[in-house]
């Protein structure tokens, strides 16, 4: 099995130490365009740098020992999606995405929706920053509490059916939740592991720090 793939995007990273503590020794690190700036600041070494180099200097990339894949700015996919296609094609079974959230709502939503593409390829995927972790739920999941207090269930499809939640403040059993409803927001961990299950549909699971 391949090592974990870690994608560094050009979004906001609020806590460098948090990111460093997430890294494993044998991670395959992909700098997605301006994500190279984060990697250098963190003192990490990229294995691959890819993008159209509109947010990082190409000469800086050439000074590394990493493989480089340069794309035209006139393309039909974001640099983030190209990176995700790469880890899918390379057969990674686990992917962590850093720097996927931030001030650009359009990019942030696109990055979050990419979890579905990774999940459909059979990849265990997550987006992480100091304040939250994001996952896609379509099969039974054990959600670890860690340092978080809250978790939310947000349908991605028009509705999800058969939603069950155990070991949480608000437990559910085989309910229907619509995308236009906010009933799944700000549930609370009461145990170290929450059990989640749905019958049909797909949902985002977002762990959040105390507000």
Show the tokens assigned to 75.
């393309």
Give the model's pLDDT for residue 211: 59
The span from the CA of 63 to the CA of 109, in Å, is: 32
6 pLDDT above the threshold of 70: yes
The span from the CA of 89 to the CA of 81, in Å, is: 12
Give the model's pLDDT for residue 104: 87
Residues 155 and 176 sit within 8 Å (Cβ to Cβ): no
Give the model's pLDDT for residue 1: 61
The span from the CA of 28 to the CA of 5, in Å, is: 5
Domains, the chain:
5-130 (3.40.50.10240), 137-208 (2.60.120.320)
Residues 6+ apart with CB under 8 A from 54: 33, 73
71-116 tens-digit pLDDT: 998 889 999 999 999 999 999 999 999 999 987 899 999 999 999 9
Q: In Å, what is the CA distance from 7 to each residue of 4, 100, 197, 207?
A: 10, 9, 28, 20
119-167 tens-digit pLDDT: 999 999 999 999 999 999 999 999 999 989 999 999 999 999 999 999 9
> Cβ atoms within 10 A of the Cβ of 35, count?
31
43-56 tens-digit pLDDT: 999 999 999 998 89
């Amino acid at each position: 099995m391949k090592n974990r793939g870690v994608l560094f995007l050009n979004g906001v990273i609020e806590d460098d130490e948090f990111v460093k503590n997430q890294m494993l020794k044998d991670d395959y690190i992909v700098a997605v365009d301006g994500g190279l700036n984060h990697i250098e600041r963190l003192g990490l070494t990229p294995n691959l740098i890819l993008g159209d180099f509109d947010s990082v200097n190409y000469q800086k990339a050439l000074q590394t020992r990493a493989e480089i894949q340069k794309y035209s700015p006139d393309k039909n996919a974001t640099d983030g999606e190209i990176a995700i296609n790469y880890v899918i094609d390379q057969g990674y079974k686990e992917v962590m995405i850093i720097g996927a959230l931030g001030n650009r709502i359009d990019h942030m939503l696109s990055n979050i929706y990419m979890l579905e593409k990774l999940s459909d390829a059979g990849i265990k995927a997550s987006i992480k920053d100091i304040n939250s972790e994001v996952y896609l739920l379509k099969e039974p999941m054990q959600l670890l509490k860690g340092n978080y207090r809250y978790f939310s269930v947000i349908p991605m499809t028009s509705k999800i059916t058969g939603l069950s939640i155990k070991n949480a403040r608000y437990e559910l059993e085989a309910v229907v939740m619509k995308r236009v409803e906010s009933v799944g927001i700000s549930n609370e961990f009461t145990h170290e592991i929450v059990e989640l299950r749905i019958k049909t549909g797909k949902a985002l699971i977002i762990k959040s720090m105390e507000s």
